Chain A
């Protein structure tokens, strides 16, 4: 470092350069950060007053439903913001409770199984009443839609054939084969009542092993199709069931219960016109519609927001 022995003048000059560079960098960074930090944790991560925050879980149908809810609310003149792809119910329920999210598309029976593992699920109405009784005081369910999307155990065609199982077979018929099969599902499926726990408790099924995939998404579909797993948790509205000829086993004990698409909302966060808007959506949304909308997103690769808007328009909801 002989160059350091140079005159002090050159040293001063270069400090100036350093200071300018630092200041410029600082300005750039703060300038950047003043952008859209709406989710500043120092604000307690609470929804902004007057804004309805619509959340969604980490699978395509949840995003689609959240978009439908959000756009329906927006059409009523409400201020809406989205919090998409949050994670599993285990996470989203916490965010509903602490007020970070105001509206979330839910599935009534699945939510009940999460809140109370032992709950009997006899009818959709009874399920909703049971959910409301168990919910955090600040939360409630709105009207359920006829559209249903359950968890289910599906086999790939080869496995079904090998064990002589058809669409008429039940989960109980899987008992013999289960110890030879790898079952796949979302990581949370491993510990849920409507998952490995219930399958063992209700049907006595013990599988060879469990492979954690995604929540009924492309990873699950591909793993089942390519026989990485022989059985998997797939959603009954999954368009790949038909495409890949998966065999969905019947659930006579009603382990997977009811799964009607139902808005879960914070009581203090949604004005009356919002409640009415979401109930109007539920009235029009049936399983066939949901299947069709899912196929547009998952097979035709359309953007969920576009699909949501188009359907709301065609259904006369906006």
Chain B
């Protein structure tokens, strides 16, 4: 029992099972973060004075290390997946709020005027005009949030087997089996790459007017986002 795919029984999941749990623990928080960030960004754009304090609060939350966040939450939510997912959702805000707010704000005034002239109310205009035009920026934010979320789930292993593939890393340490750590690192990396590719595909589907050909400028917009929100 010391092969690359011999997952110790105490993890109570097969390799594929761990992947499923990992995706759930990493992606649900990003989805929740998106749902939270959409109205927050709308408010920030409507009331400009709100933007700096919202960014400040998310930045401070982001500065709290994930493990400490998990441990403090245990008192309320127990040693569960939820304890891992709440901080990840909050972390995603630091990227998503500025991504959406700035993306939406970059919509030209004449486009907005055109929508208003067509009889769009503010909510409908936000949902049907501003958000779609901001889609590339939003997806860029989602890519950063997803990559970081997939990596951070692993730390959940330290609060009692709540880290999906991270549990495999902890098991590698506990049973002194480096091949398990290699498996977990590689699998996590592949998941991150695949999710990223899926988001790029999503962006293409959402923005059919943008040129399809040519190489995707993968890195640039994401990095700008990370640094803009003063993220870690």
Q: Using a CB–CB distance below 8 Å, which chain A residues touch chain B?
A: 1, 3-6, 8, 10-11, 13-15, 17-18, 21, 25-26, 29, 32-33, 35, 37, 39-41, 45, 56, 58-60, 63, 67, 82-87, 91, 95, 100, 214, 217-219, 297-298, 301-306
Given the known inter-chain contacts A14-B207, A67-B9, A304-B8, please indicate yes or no for A86 contacting B28, CB distance below 8 A. no
Residue of B nearest to A20 (CB): B205
**Majority secondary structure, B binding face:** helix
Are the C-beta atoms of A60 and B174 separated by less than 8 Å?
Answer: yes
The CA-CA distance from A217 to B1 in the complex, in Å, is 19
Partner among A1, A10, A41, A218 whose Cβ is within 8 Å of the Cβ of B82? A41
Query: Given the complex, which residues of B lie within 8 Å of A21, measured CB to CB?
Result: 202, 205-206
Question: Besides A67-B10, A100-B78, A218-B174, 5 other CB < 8 A contacts?
Answer: A18-B135, A39-B78, A45-B79, A86-B161, A302-B1
Are the C-beta atoms of B129 and A11 separated by less than 8 Å?
Answer: yes
Residue of B nearest to A44 (CB): B78
Are the C-beta atoms of A219 and B209 separated by less than 8 Å?
Answer: no
Query: Given the complex, which residues of A lie within 8 Å of B1, measured CB to CB?
Result: 301-303, 306
B177 shortest CB reach to chain A, Å? 6
Query: Given the complex, which residues of A lie within 8 Å of B206, measured CB to CB?
Result: 14, 17-18, 21
Partner among B12, B82, B159, B175 whose Cβ is within 8 Å of the Cβ of A60? B175
B162 shortest CB reach to chain A, Å? 9
A48 shortest CB reach to chain B, Å? 14
Are the C-beta atoms of A25 and B31 separated by less than 8 Å?
Answer: yes
B24 on the A face (CB < 8 A): yes
Query: Given the complex, which residues of A lie within 8 Å of B23, measured CB to CB?
Result: 32
B221 on the A face (CB < 8 A): no
Query: Given the complex, which residues of B lie within 8 Å of A219, measured CB to CB?
Result: 173
B210 on the A face (CB < 8 A): yes
Are the C-beta atoms of B128 and A15 separated by less than 8 Å?
Answer: yes
Are the C-beta atoms of A37 and B176 separated by less than 8 Å?
Answer: no
Chosen A-B contacts, 28 in total, with CB atoms closer than 8 Å, are A1-B108, A4-B133, A4-B209, A13-B208, A17-B205, A17-B208, A18-B135, A21-B202, A21-B205, A25-B31, A26-B31, A29-B24, A29-B31, A33-B28, A56-B10, A59-B174, A84-B10, A84-B12, A85-B10, A85-B174, A86-B160, A297-B175, A298-B175, A298-B176, A301-B175, A301-B177, A305-B9, A305-B10
A251 shortest CB reach to chain B, Å? 26
The CA-CA distance from A45 to B79 in the complex, in Å, is 9
Are the C-beta atoms of B174 and A10 separated by less than 8 Å?
Answer: no
Query: Given the complex, which residues of B lie within 8 Å of A87, measured CB to CB?
Result: 79, 159-160
B24 shortest CB reach to chain A, Å? 5
Residues 3-56 of B contacting A (Cβ, < 8 Å): 6, 8-12, 20-21, 23-24, 27-28, 31
B127 shortest CB reach to chain A, Å? 8
Are the C-beta atoms of A82 and B10 separated by less than 8 Å?
Answer: yes
Partner among B20, B129, B209 whose Cβ is within 8 Å of the Cβ of A6? B209
Query: Given the complex, which residues of B lie within 8 Å of A33, measured CB to CB?
Result: 24, 28
The CA-CA distance from A161 to B10 in the complex, in Å, is 39
B111 shortest CB reach to chain A, Å? 5
Are the C-beta atoms of B173 and A14 separated by less than 8 Å?
Answer: no
Are the C-beta atoms of A217 and B174 separated by less than 8 Å?
Answer: yes
Query: Given the complex, which residues of A lie within 8 Å of B205, measured CB to CB?
Result: 17, 21
The CA-CA distance from A3 to B20 in the complex, in Å, is 39
Query: Given the complex, which residues of A lie within 8 Å of B218, measured CB to CB?
Result: none
B11 shortest CB reach to chain A, Å? 8
Given the known inter-chain contacts A41-B77, A60-B175, please indicate yes or no for A304 contacting B2, CB distance below 8 A. no
The CA-CA distance from A25 to B139 in the complex, in Å, is 13
Query: Given the complex, which residues of A lie within 8 Å of B174, measured CB to CB?
Result: 58-60, 85, 214, 217-218
B184 shortest CB reach to chain A, Å? 15
Query: Given the complex, which residues of B lie within 8 Å of A95, measured CB to CB?
Result: 79
